[in-house]
A and B are shown apart, each in its own frame.
Chain A
Amino acid sequence: MVKKGLILPEFRFQVNFFDNNCVVYNIGDSMDTKFISRSEEFLLLAVWRLKENAYGVTIRNQIKEATGKSWAYGALFVMLRRLEKKGYLTSHFSDPSSQRGGKSKRIFQLSPQGVKALKEVRKAQKSVWSGIEELSVPQE
């Protein structure tokens, strides 16, 4: 019988890293419950479409082609970086080219997790839109 301390919870000697105050980081975890946003969906799809050639300029062009809107590079970069940190994208650098003022390209690729996220969005979208042939304002 452990006597309950009046003042503090009793002190146990345990060697367990994940006990008590240790925090396990798993940012992707929270995505199980959350869908990716629409713009993230566009980006991931653009990357998937572009296969081996997905980097800033091409992704931007792809999105412009698909949606008619041209994104600022700042927005593009921030979103790509965030997607990468969340684990949906991976990237590597190509060799520098003079075309780009001596900069290398950052080429993106879809990760399995990204594919999963896209599939989930697709599934959800299908079920949400199911049965709707044409969207019109309901007449009263």
Chain B
Amino acid sequence: MVGNRGAVCTAGVRVEMEKDRHPPRIAGWFVRRMFPDRGGSSILGDMIETYRYLAEDKGFFWARIWFWGQCVKAFPHFLIDEFYWRITMFKNYLLVTVRNLQKNSTYSLLNIIGLAVGLTAFILIALYVQYELSFDKYHENADRIYRAKREGRAFTPAPLGPALKEKILEVDSVARILRRSNTLMSYEQNHFLEEEFYWADPETFDIFSIPFISGNPQTALNEPAAIVLSQRTAKKYFGHADPMGKILTVSERNEFKVSGVFSDMPANSHFVMDVVVPYETYFRITNNDITSWRSNFSYTYFLLGEGSDPEVMANKISPFIEIPLFKAAGAKGPFPKYFFIQPLTEIHLHSHLMQEIGVNNDMKYIILFSSIAFLILFIACINYMNLATARSLRRGKEVGMRKVVGAQKGQLIVQFLGESVAMAVLAMIFSIMMVLMALPAFNSLVERQLSLNPIHNPQLFLGFVFIALFVGLFAGSYPAMRMSGFRPISVLSGTFTRSPKGSSLRNVLVLVQFAITIFLIICTIAVREQLKFIKTMDMGYTKEQIITLPVRGGSIRQNVQSIKTELLQHSDIIAVSTSDHLPNNIDTFTSRDWTGLNLEEPIPIYYNTADYDFIDLYGMQIVQGRNFSRDFPSDATGVFLVNETAVKVAEWESPIGRKFTHWSGETGEIVGVIKDFHLCSLHSPIEPLYVYLNTRNFSNISIKIKSINIPAMIDYVEGVMKKFSPGYPFSYSFFDEVFERAYFTEQRMGRVFGAFAILAIFIACLGLFGLTVFAAEQRTKEIGIRKVLGASDSKIFLLLSKEFVRWVLLANLIAWPIAYFVMNKWLQNFAYRIHIGIVAFLISGGTALLIAYFTVSYQSIKSARANPVNSLRYE
């Protein structure tokens, strides 16, 4: 037993000794990984030798520590060494890159400019898209804020807010907001029409993150006569004086005391408030019933509790709010869904309701612009690939030499990719400069205030680095793969020529480039045509030579008759009319049953109020009955005009003389039928309409003028207005401009398309130009021989240009159907639209061809006219 145990013991010791004779395996493995010199022969062998010596001398423990220490110490040396060789090689690559740039400066310039222009377009659009996507996201609780809406409409009744808060647990807080633009506000002698004037619940400042500069956001709106201003508005009224506690007069009647100032809301909000007064005060002043479910003119925003499911919340609206209401009104089920919700952050890009608080953008355009950005970047990359591959022959010898000396394919790929990344970085630097220069123009194009500010936008610069890398790698990938694949033997023995495979791929790239360009040109033409169509289409009213003045405040309304008389004394003023809406934007309607058909689902009818001169001033036609007329004293009690659509929808046989009721209850006779005109933009078809004669209530004055000396005439109008309402801020617009404003999004799209189509053409031409230059170079000898044998200059010219022409023609065939499809889709947005004729396609195809031809011909003519002696004497 004892002996046995002893044997085990000695065996154990021996095992341990055996283990110790070897240095630590893990450390050894590391050393071998770092210095793989025939399995670590030299260094590891040396270390083991020293380790054994040390082990005998000082014991295995110290030897092991020493070994580990050596392993750790070797690591920095390993890193430095790795780096050293990398740097050495990198220095060489850099040198070759710089030499290449210098030697082929034209080529490099073409390439870098192409990339830079592409990148510039990309960055500009990226800035824009980033900005549009950022709308309303700055609010701390942005993801929990929702807006209540109705089917297709943004306005909700006033009692909805409190009902949501009271009946639905998920709702933390509710704020109702009501916008009254063009509200007259005065402080001592300063009068301004406030565009961004809001009546809002005090909770507004809980829900939205609007930091206060002075005053307490919690209590600022608690007093019924409190008013809260944005910083810029406070400065406008009070300069540098402390605004707190000052009294402001609103609409010449009501006084409000400043109780807070908040910092200006960022422009990337779907509504920007400048003046905020308590919501409930509005109802008190205007004698409206705040508990009435019938008055739809405010927006309801609410904050969901943390972790609440918006869908669950939305499903509760029907049982808790709608059904009790329907039942109270005595309606029988099934009850339709009436209220819906939408997230705050989706309003700017996804909400296209009527009665929106401001002009929203459309996700479609964002996607469209982004695609254009990527297309242009793609074209620029293709350009690079094209030129770089065309150049590859010139560098064939370098590749061959490197390979002979021992470069591996991977190393060459890294070298060429590195080169293209360097190009991309250079182009990026250029393009940032170009962006800085182009930004003001671009800002006015898209009507935004974009800036290239690294402090506000750090991720943008990360994006730049990423894009430069991506473009470099992507654009460089094909040339790098191709060039690194050269066989040194064929390159160096001189038998290397441009392979037909490579040239056909380059032609395909040109094809794609031109297809994209043609596509953009067609889109530009189609958008312009549609806009021209809108502009010149007979809307049913005249747009020219009409000035409109917005009216707020009582003094003008009281004196309107005198104002009209005085205005008409001017010889250049033909007519003056007052109306609630201008004819291009009649967006108020009532849904009560006006047809007398007892329909289950009432048809909404739009309405406008106007005076006697409205119809004539806007050149509308009466097709049946008569216009409002002072010759009929009974008209003064209130009469109606309806449009043809209303008559048709209501199936009236004789509308004239029918009794009709205004939405607010006044009744009167229908005296005439107006020829249909477009009430809104051409996005929607013509709806039923009535016009109620009312000379006292209006929001606009329209003045028809002769177009002689307009500035003097405007001075005169201003003088008259000032006379009757001193201090009233005078502002006016030309009706045709107001009209075009409604198509702002489309106009912007047209302009952006146009601008980027030009860029795309430019880049594509750069590429084509570069290619012809090289094609001509390639064929110098061929051209020389042809000329020696008697070919004429024109023959040579045709020979060189016909190849490109063929590809551009083919590009047309690809681009046409795609453009047709996309533009047709876009035109569906319009109830009235053009048909894209073949002309647009022919024009764009022709333009592309012409430009391509010009580009190609410069070099072609040069080569065709060259003296063959020069090209052949080296043989």
Q: Do residues B96 and A21 form an inter-chain contact, with CB atoms below 8 A?
A: yes
B-contact 0/1 string along A28-70, CB 8 Å cutoff: 0000000000000000000000000001110010000000000
Output the residue of B22, B78, B81 with the most chain A CB within 10 A. B81
Cα separation A124 to B34 with both chains bound (whole Å): 36
Q: List 9 A-B contacts (CB under 8 A).
A: A8-B777, A11-B777, A23-B398, A56-B45, A73-B74, A75-B74, A78-B78, A104-B38, A105-B45
Tell which of B37, B92, B95, B100 touches A106, judged by Cβ atoms closer than 8 Å: B37
Output the residue of A7, A17, A57, A73 with the most chain B CB within 10 A. A73
B571, CB-defined interface residue at 8 Å? no
Tell which of A23, A75, A103 touches B41, judged by Cβ atoms closer than 8 Å: A103
Binds A, one of B48-56, B311-319, B426-434, B686-694: B48-56
How many whole Å from B605's CB to the nearest CB in chain A? 69
Cα separation A118 to B81 with both chains bound (whole Å): 23
Give B71-118 interface residues, CB cut-off 8 Å to A: 73-78, 80-81, 84, 88, 92, 95-96, 99-100, 103-104, 106-107
Q: Do residues A56 and B42 form an inter-chain contact, with CB atoms below 8 A?
A: yes
With both beta carbons as reference points, the residue of chain B lying nearest to A75 in the complex is identified as B77
Q: How large is the interface on B (under 10, 10 to 19, 20 to 34, 35 or more residues)?
A: 35 or more
A126, CB-defined interface residue at 8 Å? no
Q: Do residues B80 and A78 form an inter-chain contact, with CB atoms below 8 A?
A: yes
Cα separation A105 to B781 with both chains bound (whole Å): 60
Q: Do residues B99 and A21 form an inter-chain contact, with CB atoms below 8 A?
A: yes
Tell which of B42, B73, B96, B405 touches A72, judged by Cβ atoms closer than 8 Å: B73
Tell which of B39, B88, B397 touches A21, judged by Cβ atoms closer than 8 Å: B397
Q: Do residues A103 and B39 form an inter-chain contact, with CB atoms below 8 A?
A: yes
B870, CB-defined interface residue at 8 Å? yes
B76: which A residues are within 8 A, CB to CB?
Answer: 74
With both beta carbons as reference points, the residue of chain A lying nearest to B92 in the complex is identified as A23
A13: which B residues are within 8 A, CB to CB?
Answer: 781, 874-875
Q: Do residues A11 and B780 form an inter-chain contact, with CB atoms below 8 A?
A: yes
Interface of B is mostly: helix
How many whole Å from A104's CB to the nearest CB in chain B? 5
Count residues of chain A with CB under 8 A from any CB of chain B: 46
How many whole Å from B54's CB to the nearest CB in chain A? 11
A135, CB-defined interface residue at 8 Å? no
B45: which A residues are within 8 A, CB to CB?
Answer: 56, 100-101, 103-106
B601, CB-defined interface residue at 8 Å? no
With both beta carbons as reference points, the residue of chain B lying nearest to A108 in the complex is identified as B42
Q: Do residues A56 and B78 form an inter-chain contact, with CB atoms below 8 A?
A: no
B494, CB-defined interface residue at 8 Å? yes
B107: which A residues are within 8 A, CB to CB?
Answer: 8
A interface residue numbers (CB < 8 A to B): 1-3, 5-15, 17, 19-25, 27, 55-57, 60, 72-78, 80-82, 93, 96, 99-101, 103-106
A96: which B residues are within 8 A, CB to CB?
Answer: 41
Q: Do residues A77 and B397 form an inter-chain contact, with CB atoms below 8 A?
A: no
A103: which B residues are within 8 A, CB to CB?
Answer: 39-42, 44-45, 48
Q: Do residues A82 and B773 form an inter-chain contact, with CB atoms below 8 A?
A: no
Cα separation A17 to B397 with both chains bound (whole Å): 7
How many whole Å from A62's CB to the nearest CB in chain B? 13
Tell which of B39, B75, B781, B874 touches A74, judged by Cβ atoms closer than 8 Å: B75
B158, CB-defined interface residue at 8 Å? no
B859, CB-defined interface residue at 8 Å? yes
B531, CB-defined interface residue at 8 Å? no
Contacts A8-B106, A72-B70, A77-B37: A56 and B773 contacting too (C-beta < 8 A)?
A: no
B835, CB-defined interface residue at 8 Å? no
Q: Do residues A101 and B77 form an inter-chain contact, with CB atoms below 8 A?
A: no
How many whole Å from A105's CB to the nearest CB in chain B? 6
Q: Do residues A22 and B77 form an inter-chain contact, with CB atoms below 8 A?
A: no
Tell which of B43, B100, B402, B874 touches A73, judged by Cβ atoms closer than 8 Å: B43
How many whole Å from B117's CB to the nearest CB in chain A? 19
Cα separation A2 to B871 with both chains bound (whole Å): 9
Tell which of A5, A77, A99 touches B42, judged by Cβ atoms closer than 8 Å: A77
A77: which B residues are within 8 A, CB to CB?
Answer: 35, 37, 42-43, 74, 77
With both beta carbons as reference points, the residue of chain B lying nearest to A58 in the complex is identified as B46
With both beta carbons as reference points, the residue of chain A lying nearest to B401 in the complex is identified as A22
B39: which A residues are within 8 A, CB to CB?
Answer: 103
A24: which B residues are within 8 A, CB to CB?
Answer: 401
Q: Do residues A99 and B492 form an inter-chain contact, with CB atoms below 8 A?
A: no
B48: which A residues are within 8 A, CB to CB?
Answer: 100-101, 103
B394, CB-defined interface residue at 8 Å? yes
How many whole Å from A124's CB to the nearest CB in chain B? 24
B397: which A residues are within 8 A, CB to CB?
Answer: 17, 19-22
